[in-house]
Amino acid sequence: MKIAPVFLELKQREIPQILVHTGQHYDANMSQVFFEELGLPVPDIYLGVGSDSHARQTARIMVLFEEVVRKHRPDLVIVGGDVNSTLATALVAAKEHIPVAHVEAGLRSFDRTMPEEINRVVTDHLSDLLFTTERSGNKNLRKEGISPKRIHFVGNCMVDTLLKHVNVATERSPWQAFGVQPSEYALVTLHRPSNVDDPKTLRVVMSSIKEVSRRLPVLFPVHPRTRARLATEKIDIPPGVSLADPLPYLSFIGLMAKACFIMTDSGGIQEETTMLGVPCLTLRSNTERPVTIERGTNRLVGTNPKEIKRNVGIILARKWCRGKRPPLWDGGAGRRIADVIEASMAPKYIKLKWNS
């Protein structure tokens, strides 16, 4: 969702690209199907790293990606988001003296217990072009001593992808597969280690989900990590909660667009619900996307059952804020990123043309 708008825009401008898929997300519905639904070609290179500890996964990506870089010697490596693949590929490129462009730069939760926060900070300081989604990102980067010349406020590629596909997604009526009606169900996602790996916290969160299910049906596409923990801890699933495997992108955004509200610990979903105007209860005590709280429909509730119950009551009473679209969340982020990349690479293309 983050790379597709950039890839397609650069392709339209006939700028040569090699698409590398690390395989960090190995479930078909969390990976392969995205290429199909977003109109991306089959990746030129698939590293197939799979799941592992942070250190081993990052190291394996680095070893394999180093071979790619040394073989192809790209003029620029574009990375997106804050996962281990982001950090690993940026680090390899920097050590090989190849410029790095970071899509979704500058986001900060200021919580170093989150692996994603470490990935964000290190990647940003390795990058030559930093593309921010909200103005807080520019401020964070300047505070960390990064030159304003490297920072480009371009908007949100996730929004580009959402706006392009949401109408088709809702036309498919994915809620019918669960036997529910639009606006009459809650949608849940849960995958962060802080919520899933601690048995006590997981039980508290599931207890709150159970309470919600007494008021309206709950649809719960389960991340593989979460499903494993639920099984290990032998946590019972209440009758009002429908578990599902991870969903294809279009099915999920269709469900999200017509949900009564969403409970999540995902960063991207905080952004998407802000655009869709759907109430979002974020099961965290912090967010790296403050604009979703300042202008959107997002609220931090942590894992406090009383706070969750109180906010669910506000939503069901139809007293939730409507939210406003953040600046530059207009579907043009991919184009703006491509403009900067094309301009930064212009001298090379002029030289190639002259030599030919």
Give the residue numbers marked as catalytic.
191
Buried b (16+ CB within 10 A) or exposed e, 234-268: eeebeebbbeeebbbbbbbbbbbbbbbbbbbbbbb
Closest of 336, 333, 334, 340 to residue 128, by C-alpha: 340
Q: 84-95 and 115-126 are packed helices; what angle lies between their axes, rounded to 10 degrees? A: 30
DSSP output for 279-300: -EEESSS--S-THHHHTSSEEE
| Dist CA 219 CA 229 (whole Å) | 18
Neighbours of 307 (CB within 10 A): 15
Measuring CA to CA, how many Å separate 306 from each of 178, 187, 252, 287?
A: 28, 19, 28, 20
| Dist CA 254 CA 257 (whole Å) | 5
| Residue 11 burial class via C-beta count within 10 angstroms: exposed 0-12, middle 13-18, buried 19 and up | middle
Measuring CA to CA, how many Å separate 174 from each of 53, 132, 171, 248, 291?
A: 34, 32, 8, 10, 29
Strand partners, 241: 218
| Dist CA 79 CA 3 (whole Å) | 8
Structure tokens at 84: 């281990």
**Residues with Cβ within 8 Å of residue 112, at least 6 apart in sequence:** 118
Total residue count of the chain as it appears in this document: 356
Instruction: State the DSSP H helix or E strand holding residue 201, giving kind and residue range, or none if neither.
Output: helix 199-213
C-alpha 196: how far from chain center: 18
